[in-house]
Structure 1
Amino acid sequence: MQRVFTGMLSSHDRRNGGIVLAMLVALIILVASAWSRGTEYDEDYSVFIAAGGPRPAWPATVFTPVEVQHVFSGHSTMQSIAEDLRRTDVHPPLYFWTVAAWRGVFGTSLFETRLFSVLCSLGALVGVAVLARLSGVPPVAAVLLTVGCYGFAYTGSIARGFALAQLCVIWGAVMVLRASLVVSALPRRSSSAPAMIGLALAAGLVLGLASFTNYLAAFGGAGALCWLLLTQWRRVAVWLAAGIGFCAVLPLDLYFFIAQRSSRTGQFPPFHLVPSLVRLGKYSAANIFGGLPLYAGHLGGILLGGILVLAMFALLLLIALRWSRIGTGRARLLLAMTAVATPVGLLLLGFVFNNTPIELRYVAFATPFLALLLAGSLASLPGRAGYAVLAAVLCIQAAALLGMMTRPETMQPQAQTARSAARLERAGALVLVPYGNDGVGVLAAFVREAPPSMHMLVVGPGADPAVLRHRVGNASRVILVMLGLDGDSKATLPQMEHAFEGVSCWTQGPTGFDTIAFDRAPSC
């Protein structure tokens, strides 16, 4: 065991295959997460954009999931994807273009779609290892701490664009650091300088492409470019080339952002500084240590959550105290600036636009750089202290990742609700599902998780109870799916209950997770 941890905290671990082993562990974690987690609210937005039908026309009559599988398996074009995003979404197109091509080659199931994110995450971890070597940080520890972060593993295994954006940010940082290190070692008029200028231009372009995948990834790219300007301000051609590469993508961002700017208004609560800082601290700790407090009950969860927040601040304090011993040269400053760029950027964005865009998946952009700093600080500790802290952190992260794959508290409820509705089914049963805001986040996720033969009916906002009773026809049992995940679905649930509760011919039957059954009297 001592040899294992020595390899993790050693910069000379190539000979013992430590990186290969770490990448194998990462592959297992990411694939297991992609396989085990239920459908997320947002994932079918990705699927439907790539499939060419961003807002499916669901049947107005009774249907089964097998009858609507075509809405999940279509294929779109780059032009149609761009037009659909400008009209119906709030994201730039790079991820959707690439995942549409991926689905055309490897298949259209949700797991196959998620595997593209897994591939991007593995590529990002290779970038973490390269960045660690360039920075003088132990690569094995950096890779394990990164994939152990709940936020990285979660965003790296779902069908959204976070993993591709993360890949671009990390490799952009690698290229920025590489260009800076080589240029610093060259004479001012070296013949190799044009090549380094080209590398800086490419680095800026890759960082810009991160924002063309997810707008908020621009903060990490901006942090890396600010570091290059700060450390190479005398090399005007180098930092100017990187800035030009980055800015070349911004007009493309604006082309989509301007068309989308009024979409999903009210998505985030208004901005208040103190609650935003608390929220940022909470999600920063969750990015590292996951959802462990969710399993401990109310009081236990508060206590455990407080302990983990303190543990996070202790790790930040460790990084600060061992700052001068982390890595080599200016590289540690690059890691720090790129790590803090995202949380600072989210706070500034919230202040300017009076909202609070602080969520675990956005804060996750900072986790690889924080993991690199932590790996470097642990390697600098004397004796076996670094091994002990590393072992403790990895154990906590392993428990959190196991919970991410198995515990319903860390997952959205659609899959568990579908299983509950299936248990309440019997011959002649009909499942009523709320349409939600747009028929995607609530309804599509439930349909995907439901048994292929389940008979269901969509209930839209403002449904009249008498009309709803008429629509169920001769069903002997109706099962109400009580998924209130957005404004319209929450408003629909009381209408669904009112249609059957206390009504003659109908009596309440068994209940389950987010499900209520009503049985028709035999005489009716």
Structure 2
Amino acid sequence: MNDRRVALFLCTAAALLLAIAWFRALEYDEAYSLFLTAGHARPAWPQGIFTPGAVRWLYAGGAGFGQVAHDLRAGDVHPPLYFWALDVWRRVFGPSWFAARALSVLFTLGTLALLARLAAVLDVPVLPALGLTLLSYGFAYTGVVARGFALAQLCDVAGVLLLARARGWRGALAGGVALGAASFTNYLAVFTACAALLWLCRARWRVLPAALAGFVPFLPLDAWFFLAQRGSRAGQFVAFDASHALALLAKDSGAAIFGGLPVYAGAFALPVALALLALVLAGFVCVVRRRHASAMLCALLALATPAGLLALGLIFHNTPIEIRYLAFAIPWVALMFAAALPRPLLTVMLAVQGCAIAGLAFATATMQPQGLVARAAAAYPGALVVVPFGNDGVGVPGPFIAAAPDSMRLLLFRAGRALNVQGERQVILATIGADDSSRAASAQMLSALQQDRCFTQAARTPLIAVFDRSCADQQ
């Protein structure tokens, strides 16, 4: 392994990931990370009209480990390790959204550095493995958002590397601890851990007890959080249906590698999707025909997450399949492809992935609307901007307010209540549909102003609806 080339690759990766973190619109789940670590898990927004500048303090502060753990058990679905790390990070580097994303970038760079070591241990070409990993849409996406995926990936790769190199109990114990830490960061990382331990049973069974001694103590900790949280996100996923789950698994697996390329293609979406499918199938044919010594380990690790998600669907009768979850399989697929793809096919794969990553940074079709709506509404200074409250006042208003100028006049609207905009000369409706409640609120407030004879719709886009008062006698 050429350390100088790897260092240059990591510098390039840092620049790319930080650029994506800067340009990409703010997201729903990231707001939970920020408010949780700020000590305001459910922000107490003002009831009437207010400005973003008046509530910036809600994004700052430090919760501390105890409050983070309490708030997670009371109303979230994640273990605490990432949030503890984020709490410390924000105390040092400040409360900004970009600072929080920068921590994920740091974890992602650590993952790539460890993956380079693992590729060398497995005798897989290092730079192709790193390139295929970094340019996979799902890996780059989860590597920049302010959530726990990047830390879980770092612990996963560290655990597999330690187990792959383990010749005695110390290395196996450390590998088990790393895999346990991954599960204490994101429950779904347990699938990778189980696959790695299963491989260890066959390859190095003598050190398996040491690996289990490192991993198993994390399971009661996971259970202590999970059992308290299991009912907090009822209805988050649609009911399980085998055919729908398999179709979604295929679609999101492709998107984890190639992102939204079919979406960008417009009328040519189907041919593009078929071409991408052919490219992936050609890659797997090469993996089978040029079977590498590490193929069994990588295949086991790559299949662990999709198989685990299907098992969860069967057990809990829902469909927990998303691109960000399937990203846990990306490093292992990249190692398989790097070991087997001929140079021409590898070049094509990397070039196509590069196009997808450009879309990750700049294409609004793959971004959540809250921050984009705030920018659109900012073009109407002085108007009252009405924003849906959302399910719990975190994921919808959080990113919107963070992206809005300090002086914007805001009103949070809850579905089922009356919309009172009496005396306003111009009203901007932020028609956000990020969750069930925001969709209902957006439809209700739009209907209310369309039926109000004193307001005329002056403009309508997919993001906002602009209404001007037409009754001169009402102020």
TM-score, length basis structure 1: 0.88
Q: How does 1:18-97 map to 2 (within 5 A)?
A: 18-97=5-84
Say if 2:159 and 2:179, in contact at 8 Å, map to a contact too: yes
Query: What's the offset of the Cα at 1:303?
Result: 2.3
1:431 paired residue among 368, 381, 385: 385
Instruction: Say which SS state the counterpart of residue 428 (structure 2) adopts.
Output: strand
Instruction: Say which SS state the counterpart of residue 100 (structure 2) adopts.
Output: helix
Instruction: Say which SS state the counterpart of residue 18 (structure 2) adopts.
Output: helix
Listed as ranges, the gaps of 5+ residues in structure 1 are 1-11, 184-195, 379-385
Are positions 1:203 and 2:152 aligned together? no
Query: What's the offset of the Cα at 1:91?
Result: 0.4
Q: For 1:43 and 1:302, locate their aligned partners in 2 and report how far apart those are by CA, in whole Å.
A: 32
Say if 1:201 and 1:241, in contact at 8 Å, map to a contact too: yes
Say if 2:391 and 2:438, in contact at 8 Å, map to a contact too: yes
2:321 paired residue among 354, 358, 377: 358
| Residue identity matched to 1:345 | G
1:251 paired residue among 220, 223, 235: 220
2:452 paired residue among 477, 485, 503: 503
Q: For 1:500 and 1:289, locate their aligned partners in 2 and report how far apart those are by CA, in whole Å.
A: 41
Query: What's the offset of the Cα at 1:153?
Result: 0.5
1:231 aligns with: 203
Instruction: Say which SS state the counterpart of residue 146 (structure 2) adopts.
Output: coil
Are positions 1:488 and 2:437 aligned together? yes
**Offset from partner CA, 1:442-498 (integer Å, 9 cap, x none):** 11111111122110101112112xxx23xx242101111110111111111232123
2:245 aligns with: 276
Q: For 2:197 and 2:437, locate their aligned partners in 1 and report how far apart those are by CA, in whole Å.
A: 43
| Residue identity matched to 2:455 | W
Say if 1:417 and 1:513, in contact at 8 Å, map to a contact too: no
Query: What's the offset of the Cα at 1:166?
Result: 0.2
**Offset from partner CA, 1:7-60 (integer Å, 9 cap, x none):** xxxxx544xx32122212211221111111010110000001110110001001
Q: CA RMSD in A?
A: 1.3
Are positions 1:387 and 2:343 aligned together? yes
Say if 1:145 and 1:371, in contact at 8 Å, map to a contact too: yes
Instruction: Say which SS state the counterpart of residue 510 (structure 1) adopts.
Output: strand
Say if 2:279 and 2:349, in contact at 8 Å, map to a contact too: no
1:420 aligns with: 376
Are positions 1:309 and 2:277 aligned together? yes
2:257 aligns with: 288
| Residue identity matched to 2:220 | P
Say if 1:51 and 1:75, in contact at 8 Å, map to a contact too: yes
Q: For 2:126 and 2:180, locate their aligned partners in 1 and report how far apart those are by CA, in whole Å.
A: 26
| Residue identity matched to 2:394 | V
Query: What's the offset of the Cα at 1:512?
Result: 2.8
| Residue identity matched to 1:412 | Q
Instruction: Say which SS state the counterpart of residue 217 (structure 2) adopts.
Output: helix
Residues 452 and 426 (structure 1), Cα distance of their counterparts in 2 relative to 1, 3 Å cut: closer
**Offset from partner CA, 1:404-451 (integer Å, 9 cap, x none):** 10110111111221122122x144x10011101000111111111112
Instruction: Say which SS state the counterpart of residue 46 (structure 1) adopts.
Output: helix
| Residue identity matched to 2:347 | A
1:8 aligns with: none
Q: For 1:511 and 1:272, locate their aligned partners in 2 and report how far apart those are by CA, in whole Å.
A: 37
Greater CA deviation, 122-131 or 349-358?
Answer: 349-358
1:220 aligns with: 192
Q: For 1:397 and 1:490, locate their aligned partners in 2 and report how far apart those are by CA, in whole Å.
A: 33
Instruction: Say which SS state the counterpart of residue 480 (structure 1) adopts.
Output: strand
Q: For 1:140 and 1:510, locate their aligned partners in 2 and report how far apart those are by CA, in whole Å.
A: 50
2:301 paired residue among 332, 338, 348: 338
Listed as ranges, the gaps of 5+ residues in structure 2 are none
1:444 aligns with: 398
**Offset from partner CA, 1:283-328 (integer Å, 9 cap, x none):** 111111111111111x3122212221232222122111111xx2x4
Q: For 1:347 and 1:506, locate their aligned partners in 2 and report how far apart those are by CA, in whole Å.
A: 50
Instruction: Please identify runs of 4+ aligned residues in structure 1 that moved more than 3 A.
Output: none
Instruction: Say which SS state the counterpart of residue 518 (structure 1) adopts.
Output: strand
Query: What's the offset of the Cα at 1:114?
Result: 0.4
1:138 paired residue among 125, 130, 144: 125
Instruction: Say which SS state the counterpart of residue 458 (structure 1) adopts.
Output: strand
Q: For 2:325 and 2:443, locate their aligned partners in 1 and report how far apart those are by CA, in whole Å.
A: 34
Say if 1:63 and 1:457, in contact at 8 Å, map to a contact too: yes
Greater CA deviation, 508-517 or 116-125?
Answer: 508-517
1:406 aligns with: 362
1:475 aligns with: 424
| Residue identity matched to 1:284 | S
Greater CA deviation, 87-96 or 308-317?
Answer: 308-317
Q: For 1:315 and 1:271, locate their aligned partners in 2 and report how far apart those are by CA, in whole Å.
A: 30
Q: For 1:97 and 1:496, locate their aligned partners in 2 and report how far apart those are by CA, in whole Å.
A: 39
Instruction: Say which SS state the counterpart of residue 42 (structure 1) adopts.
Output: helix
Say if 1:29 and 1:153, in contact at 8 Å, map to a contact too: no
Q: For 2:321 and 2:262, locate their aligned partners in 1 and report how far apart those are by CA, in whole Å.
A: 19
| Residue identity matched to 1:148 | L
Say if 2:433 and 2:442, in contact at 8 Å, map to a contact too: yes
Report how many residues are paired.
473
Say if 1:431 and 1:455, in contact at 8 Å, map to a contact too: yes
Instruction: Say which SS state the counterpart of residue 391 (structure 2) adopts.
Output: coil
Instruction: Say which SS state the counterpart of residue 266 (structure 1) adopts.
Output: coil
Q: For 2:9 and 2:270, locate their aligned partners in 1 and report how far apart those are by CA, in whole Å.
A: 33
Say if 1:135 and 1:332, in contact at 8 Å, map to a contact too: no
Are positions 1:102 and 2:89 aligned together? yes
Say if 1:415 and 1:449, in contact at 8 Å, map to a contact too: yes
Are positions 1:151 and 2:138 aligned together? yes
Residues 426 and 231 (structure 1), Cα distance of their counterparts in 2 relative to 1, 3 Å cut: closer
Say if 1:23 and 1:122, in contact at 8 Å, map to a contact too: yes
Query: What's the offset of the Cα at 1:130?
Result: 0.5
| Residue identity matched to 2:399 | A
Say if 2:156 and 2:192, in contact at 8 Å, map to a contact too: yes
Are positions 1:321 and 2:275 aligned together? no
Instruction: Say which SS state the counterpart of residue 231 (structure 2) adopts.
Output: coil
1:187 aligns with: none
